[in-house]
Amino acid sequence: MPADFSDFRDDFQDLLIACMMREPEHFTFVAPAIKPKYFTGIQPTLAARCMLEHFEKYLRFPAWEILEQRLDEATRQLPEAEGGLAIDYVRKLRRMDVGDWEFVRDHVSDFVRERAIVDAIRQSVTMLQDGKIPPDGYTSLFAKAMQVGRDLDNLGYMMHEDVDRVVSKVMNVEYGLKTGFPKLDSIWKNGWAPGWLIVPAAPPKRFKSGFCINLALNVVSPSIGRDVIYYACELDEEQAMVRAMCHVAKLPVDTMYESSMKFTNLVKQAMNECIAARLLFKSFPSKTATIADLRAHAHMATAQLNMKPRLIIIDYAETVQPSDRKEAEYRQQSSIYTEARAFGKEIGATVVMPDRVKQEFVEQAVPNMRALQGAFEKAGIVDVAFGLCATDMEYLEKCVRLFVFLNRHGPAYQHLRGSIDPETWRMEFNQNIEFDPRASAAPKSRNRTGHRTPQALIDEGM
């Protein structure tokens, strides 16, 4: 690799091998992240390969004599001169001054990340020449390369040393993401953390997209001001954005059809006051995009548009293509949850991914963990799950309730009542209501079971 394309000279890679051999107790942790292909030149690559193969088998770096022996065995099939050069290279390493090993250790993560990116470039060129496409797309090669070495920058927290660091990070206003719904923000004191998976659950046509539109606009509002990516996998991106525009301008969609110019001007005026960050809408046809596809797009968008998304909305779970279609269906769905959660952690964003409840829960007042398809698989993955609930009567009256039935990070069974304006897609929650445990198992009809209906439980002040 030409020096012009590297921040690290070949001398650094030589010094790195020498430090790993001479100061092994300080470099053991870096071995899993280093690959022989990250080194340039025949001798450095062979030396690194022999050293790392020894480490993989014995969990320690070899002695100098063992390294020379391994190199001798590895070069027996090469011309004699190459074997001699390899031994000379190791002896050069033994003479190197490793007094600056701390500097080398502190720059290992940057070194392996740079070399991983260069390797991704090589792979892309080779695939293009061969007419091949990586399974997850070319962008994914670079997204993965950018993650190489990240763990080397953070070895974790030491209980008796890092109390101040942990409290400072968790309490930082930039750490948690507020929802913009005051009643919800009172449940999670510092908001939703990066990497959390939030699942709003509801029957079909019961405000899942409406909630997500409201949440996205809350997050990009001046009071929060964080970037959002909205993946519309059921609606087209244009339809999703039109709903957001109706919300912003407080106008029904009919206004757009009556006078598109008037509608456009009013939306732009309203956005000047209520949009303070970037909101990107992107659609994929239902069941055509995997989480890997969304990840690749997110990395491309953050790089090209200079975005730092703090919230990613995937609308909704059942419209995402499973990565492995050979698995049982319930495992496919839980794998989507697992991948979505990892996606959020990787990019540093909270992921909100609505899902549908099972048919038998449609008529119940509130859902529980059994309401999700593949319930117990999914329940162990999500951070927060809440139902967006409305009986037929409530739906007609434009009422909606939010019931938190799973909460990994706080109290569950919080129950809120609110309203929605279907014409402008504006939703709010303004009342805490008491939860009656009987509601989560309430049957559809009193006549068949002798129990009260969900509506009766609500009318009684649940």
pLDDT for residue 197 is more than 50:
yes
Average pLDDT for 346-351: 93
Average pLDDT for 400-423: 94
Q: What confidence tier does 374 reach under pLDDT thresholds 50, 70, 90?
A: low
- Domains of the chain, start order: 3-153 (1.10.860), 182-459 (3.40.50.300)
Q: What confidence tier does 373 reach under pLDDT thresholds 50, 70, 90?
A: low
Supply the pLDDT for residue 182: 96
Most confident range (mean pLDDT) of 4-13, 67-76, 192-201, 328-337 is: 192-201
Average pLDDT for 210-225: 97
Question: Residue 301 has which token pair?
Answer: 């968008």
pLDDT above 90 as % of the chain: 54
pLDDT for residue 10 is more than 90:
no
Supply the pLDDT for residue 440: 61
Strand 197-202 and strand 350-352: the pairing is parallel
Supply the pLDDT for residue 264: 97
Supply the pLDDT for residue 2: 42
Supply the pLDDT for residue 32: 87
pLDDT in tens, 295-313: 889 988 988 899 999 999 9
Query: In sequence order, what DSSP letters do the residues of 317-371 get, joined into one string?
Result: GGGSPPS-TTS-HHHHHHHHHHHHHHHHHHHT-EEE--EEBPGGGTTSSS--GGG
The mean pLDDT value of the chain amounts to: 86
Q: What confidence tier does 457 reach under pLDDT thresholds 50, 70, 90?
A: very low
pLDDT in tens, 231-265: 998 889 999 999 999 999 999 999 999 999 999 99
Question: Residue 400 has which token pair?
Answer: 């909606």
pLDDT for residue 439 is more than 70:
no
Average pLDDT for 391-398: 89
pLDDT for residue 449 is more than 50:
no
**Short-list 96, 89, 106, 79, CA closest to 48:** 89
The pTM of the full predicted model, rounded to 2 decimals, is 0.73
Lowest mean pLDDT among 68-72, 74-78, 261-265, 387-391: 74-78
Query: In sequence order, what DSSP letters do the residues of 205-252 get, joined into one string?
Result: TSSHHHHHHHHHHHHTSTTT--EEEEEESSS-HHHHHHHHHHHHHT--
Average pLDDT for 205-232: 95
